[in-house]
Amino acid sequence: MNNLWFLTEERPKKEVLSTIFNKFAKDYGFTGFIDTLRIFPILENNKLFIFLI
């Protein structure tokens, strides 16, 4: 499985992520559509805040 990482200072907006996914898909020849994005915040053991899409 490949990962696509977004390094941000704040939680990105859904519209921004949708634009990035669509651009990525177009650039790499993938087809698909973005219907619903959900962002799940995660607090790691070392108190580092991350999120899961």
Distance between CA atoms of 43 and 32, rounded to whole angstroms? Answer: 31
pLDDT for the residue 37: 76
Q: Which residues pair with 50 in a beta bridge?
A: 42
pLDDT for the residue 53: 63
What residues does each domain of the chain span? 14-52
pLDDT for the residue 30: 86
In a structure prediction context, what are the per-residue pLDDT tens digits for the chain, which is 53 residues long? Answer: 466 777 777 878 888 888 888 888 889 898 877 777 777 666 667 666 666 66
Taking the model in full, what pTM does it have? 0.58
Whole-Å CA distances, 11 to 1, 7, 31, 39, 43? 24, 10, 26, 9, 13
